[in-house]
Structure formats: C-alpha cells, structure tokens
Amino acid sequence: MTDTEPPPVTHPAAVLDPSPDVPWRVDGLLAPFVAARVLTSADVHVGRRVARLCGEEDERVHLAAALAVRALRAGSVCVVLADAPATVVEPAEDEDAASPDVGPGVTVPADPTSGPLPWPEAAAWTAAVRASPAVADGPDGPPDRPLRWSGDRLYLDRYWRDEVQVREQVVDRSRDVAVDASRLESAVDRLFPRAQDERQRAAVRTAATSRLTVLTGGPGTGKTTTVARLVAALQDVAGPGLRVALAAPTGKAAARLQESVNDELRALAHDEDRERAGELRSSTVHRLLGTRPGSSTRFRHDAGHRLPHDVVVVDECSMMSLPLMARLLEAVRPQARVVLVGDAHQLASVEAGAVLGDLVAALPRGVVELTHEHRFGAELAALARAVKDGDDERTVELLRAGGEAVEWVETTGDRPTASEVAAIEADVRATGRLLVTAARAGDADTALAALGAHRLLLAHRRGPAGVAHWSEVAEDWVAQETGGRSAARFPPGRPLLVTTNDRPTGLYNGDTGVVVSTADGVAVAFGAPGAHRLVPTYRLPPAQSVHAMTVHRGQGSQFARVSVVLPPASSPLLTRELLYTAITRARERIRVVGTQDAVRAAVRRRVQRASGLGRPL
Ligand SMILES: Nc1ncnc2c1ncn2[C@@H]1O[C@H](COP(=O)(O)OP(=O)(O)OP(=O)(O)O)[C@@H](O)[C@H]1O
C-alpha cells in the first residue's frame, strides 16, 4: 500500500438493509449508509426514484434525496445538508417509540463498527444538488421538481410549499384588528377580575386584536379556561353571533376540549356572557376541514373554499404536523381569528414538523405563555420547569431532594434491578388488585379510578426499556396478585387502550377502559369514575391491553401517579421533551427510574427537528 492509496474501505459493495421490514438491495455510494443504519433501504429506494425520474444519475444527489426522505421519518421537514455528517450518525429520533401507529422502524443504533462513512465533499455536494434537474434551486426555482433547495436546506418540494404557506399566513395575519378598546378592557376585567391572572388577561387582549394568537402553557396553567373566556370576550367585542369552531388534532382531544370549554362557559358569572357564548361544538381538525374520500392530504375546505368561521380555536397544537397546519391556515378566512393552543415544550407530532414550537420562536407578536400552574403541586411544577429550562443540575437536585410528589430511583446500571423496581412493582400490584377486584364485582367506577391511579411510561416500544417488555412484567405482577393469568379474551380487570377512532361507539384512539363484570357477562367501562359508560365487547373497536404505554401515547392524558423508566443515556429517544412530557402526565406524584447519566442526557438533549420556519428563504 502506498501513501497515495485511499484508506481501506470496510463497507461491503452491496448490502441488504439490516432493518428487516423492506429488504431492498442497495449498492454503490449509498450502501455503507444503509449498512451503518443511517438510511433504510426504503429511504434509498424513494430518494433514488425521485432523482432518477428527472434523469439524475449522480449518486451524491441520490444520497441527498435519501437524506431528505429520512428527515421526514425523523420528524424533520428538511435536511440541512452541511450538517448531515454530524447530525445523522444516530438513527432517526422517532423511529421507535414515537411512531406507535406508523409501523415498526429500525430499533438498533447506528453501527459504529462499519467504518467512516463516505460523505461527499461539502461544497461540491451542495453544488451538485443545486444544479440537479431533480432540484428546484431557491424560491424562484422551477415549480415542477420533486426536490427544493432553500437556504442551506433540501426539502421534498411538497414540504417546502407547506412551510411557505404557513410562513405567508403568519405574515398575512400579522396586522392588528381594531376593536373598541374600552369595551375590550371591561370584558377583560369582567372575565378575569383578579390582577394575578395578568397572563390570561393578556391572552384575551391578544386574541381580540390579532388574527393569529398562540396560547401556550403546561398542563393546568389555565389554557382551556382562557379559551372559554376569550370566546366570551370576542362575542362581546367583535360579536355577537361570531361563528366559532373548536378543533384538535385527535378525536380524543377534541371531545375533551368540547366538554371542558362548555363546562367553563356554563360557569361564567355573567348571564350575558353565557348567552352570547352559547354551547360550542368541537371536532378533529380533519373533520373541520372536511375529509375527502381517498385523500388524507386534500380537504373540502381550502384556499378556494374557506371555512365559514370567524374564530377558529385549535387545542393540542403540539401534535399538529406541518402539512396539517398548512391546510388549516389556508382554509381560514383572512379576516377570521385563529387561536392555536398547546404546550410547545411537549413532544412534537409523530409526523413531520414541530410547528407549534417553530411558531412560538418565529412570531414577532401574538404569543402568550401561561406559566402559573393551577392544578399542579409546587414540587412537580418546579421539576417540570427545571427540565423545560434545560437545567440538568437543578433537575438532579430536585429529584435527589424528592418529596411528596417527586421520587427518584437512581439506578446504578442501565437495566434496573429487581430491588430498584420494587416501588413500581408495589404500585402496579396495588392498583392491579384494586382494578381486578372492583371489575370482578362489577364496580366500574372504582375500577376506572384504579385505572387512572398509576401509569407506567416508557420511551421505547421494544427492548429491555420498552413497553412490550414492561407490559409483560406488569401483567405478571397483577396476575400473581389476583389468582393467575386468565385465558379469557376479556377477563374482568383487563385495562384496554382503544387504537382507532370509532364513530358507532363514540370511542377514540387513545381512550382507555377496563373490562368489568355485568349481569349480562362482561363489558368494557369507559369514561370518568362516576360518569362511566359500558360498551359491550362485541361492539368494541380494535383495542390492546395497556399495562404500560409510551410517553408519546400518554400525551393528552394525566394520571394521579406516574412511573417512568428511562432508557440508557445513549438512547436517541431520551430527550428533554420526552422527560418533560412524562413528568407533566402526573397530577400528584412522579417516580423517575434511571441513572443520573440518563437524567442529565435527557435534560440536555433537545429534539432536533430541522425546519425553515423563522429562517430566511
Ligand atoms: N384564572 C383562574 N383562576 C382560578 N382558577 C383557574 C384560573 N384559570 C384556570 N383555573 C383552574 O385551573 C385548573 C386548570 O385550568 P385549565 O383546565 O384551563 O388548564 P389547561 O392549561 O387547559 O390544562 P390541561 O392542559 O391539562 O387541559 C382548572 O381547575 C381551572 O378551573
């Protein structure tokens, strides 16, 4: 070997994708990226196809296109090409736990033994991509190419268009709306008389004078209360008779929104406010926009056929993908007011985009953050704040101090020992016994209360720190406690998670219930203790046992006590957003099980989702 010879290549010339789902054969420049598990063969297949349709044979462009496809799988809307060698060494962030409904992804980490990857030289690579017949270069590039270069980012063109759409809407909606200022002030004083509710008062003022408002805050900070009262205020200062739409990305969240907003409206102190606001209905964003048969990306209401509403309020916006946000904003009349509500610090949507967080960062005005926790104890609130602020020192300090509401089982190794999970075991056994005993006795309310008393949350779906493993363990504990596992399909006491929206029963994806004995055999109880309803098992939509769930799945729900078992510090799923979301699922008490390294890694690592919102075109 001479000095001028290239270093030996450890990559095979052609590989089969080690992720078993779609074993296409990949060769050439992209093979080592598949061998190293940076790309799947599906990324390569789609990326190459898109490029070749335009006659592009340059493998460097195929690589860039495959990375743009991969980016979507990881929740980003584009890839920052120059950063790719540094940012894609780990498998996509969401490919395990974060995609519970989109099928299995790769669960193994990138294989570091496969040698350095043959990244193209940066400047030549960028030049090849920008000059490619498959790529529209810049905002004025040809409109009919599948890929778009913008700034330093490569997009699949459709996502670039969605981003432009959202950006244009933000600009178009940035002009103030004129309202009678003294009337507004008296509405604010009437609806939020207490001086300490200044943020909520500010939210009402902002929503009254803006066409786009973002209302963000953690659980229990009064978002729903504010939504109800700001609707009442708008009916006063801009109404009466405003057409108001309430919506949320999931059916479950929409149902909850309708219930809590109407409860709050009924509780308004002044008759005129109650009368003007009336009773509101809520739906999913998809249903509001009007689904079209056979299409999940086009709706009946769009820029050419706008929604009739004057005010559109959308809750749980952290779960909105970029494409859905683009479709929503273009469908709202330019004069109408949009109020986007959610917790920007939570895990973002399973699909591409972290649009709520991006909007909070990008909007020059119109963002109101609620910070006072009405429901949360001070300990939980302080812990959630330390995590949200990225302060790992303080997080460790608060966890270590512990208290009524906070417990840390600091494990020594990545896999907790039996004694380290003893407290979880005790909780699972105690709530399991209560659940099964009540369910067997036909006491649905007590069973539902037990179901909400404690929940075990995990980051991953599979592996030693995954839901599959922990569900088995938890089910065993409960079985030991209650006389063994039953062979029946619906044994009383089995907790169930509905996995699809089902109109006939009015159940939603994410609803949880419990099998209970009744005079006519078994049925499944759903709803709140004291207000439950029974669904016969033959009418039950697809559902699965739920002894444990992913943190992602837990979004939109709260439980009295939560135990979260953290994966090893090296897990790419372990992020600040994940830990924050897990902690804020607890109403009374959080138990964190994991190493100090894992806690610190979680607090320090933010979910990185590439997007161009708020950045120059
Ligand atoms: N200004 C206020 N004064 C007194 N209580 C309030 C005020 N705002 C909200 N609350 C109370 O605080 C609790 C939480 O409020 P709310 O449900 O509106 O919060 P949220 O942010 O929507 O919570 P989540 O995200 O969990 O739905 C409720 O019991 C509500 O009645």
> What are the average pLDDT values for consecutive 10-residue runs of the chain, which has 617 residues?
40 55 72 87 92 95 95 88 74 37 32 69 95 96 95 94 92 90 96 93 96 92 95 93 95 90 94 93 94 83 96 94 94 96 85 81 86 82 93 97 95 90 95 96 96 94 90 94 87 94 88 94 93 94 94 89 95 91 94 96 85 64
Ligand 1 atom nearest to CA at 264: 31
Contact between residue 565 and residue 549 where contact means Cβ atoms under 8 Å apart:
no
* Omega within 30 of 0 (cis) for the link into 240: yes
- Residue ranges of the binding site for ATP: 217-224
Centre of ligand 1 to C-alpha 260, Å, is 10
Centre of ligand 1 to C-alpha 421, Å, is 34
As a whole number of Å, the CA-based R_g of the chain is 26
Ligand 1 neighbour 220 (Cβ under 6 A)? yes
Instruction: Measure the CA angle with vertex 508, ends 352 and 437; round to 5°.
Output: 125
Task: Point out which residues pair with 513 in neighbouring strands.
Answer: 496, 526
Centre of ligand 1 to C-alpha 373, Å, is 8
Pocket test for ligand 1, best of 192, 194, 204, 224 (most atoms within 8 A of CB): 224
Q: What is the pLDDT of residue 436?
A: 96
**Which DSSP category does 362 fall into?**
H
β 549-550/543-545 pair status: unpaired
First and final CA of the chain: distance in angstroms? Answer: 48
Ligand 1 neighbour 581 (Cβ under 6 A)? no
Ligand 1 atom nearest to CA at 227: 18
Ligand 1 neighbour 346 (Cβ under 6 A)? no
Ligand 1 atom nearest to CA at 221: 21
Q: Give a three-class secondary structure readout of 124-140.
A: HHHHHHHHCCCEEECCC
Centre of ligand 1 to C-alpha 219, Å, is 8
Ligand 1 neighbour 555 (Cβ under 6 A)? no
CB atoms within 10 A of CB 197: 20
For ligand 1, atom 14, the nearest C-alpha belongs to 220
Contact between residue 362 and residue 170 where contact means Cβ atoms under 8 Å apart:
yes
Ligand 1 neighbour 56 (Cβ under 6 A)? no
| Euclidean distance between CA atoms 44 and 63, whole angstroms | 7
Centre of ligand 1 to C-alpha 196, Å, is 14
Centre of ligand 1 to C-alpha 223, Å, is 6
For ligand 1, atom 25, the nearest C-alpha belongs to 219
Cα 310 to chain centroid, rounded: 28
ipTM > 0.90 (yes/no): yes
Task: Point out which residues pair with 137 in neighbouring strands.
Answer: 149
Nearby residues of 5 by Cβ (< 8 Å), 6 or more positions away: none
Predicted structure pTM score: 0.85
For ligand 1, atom 24, the nearest C-alpha belongs to 219
Q: What is the pLDDT of residue 27?
A: 80
Ligand 1 neighbour 266 (Cβ under 6 A)? no
**Which DSSP category does 414 fall into?**
S
Ligand 1 neighbour 217 (Cβ under 6 A)? yes
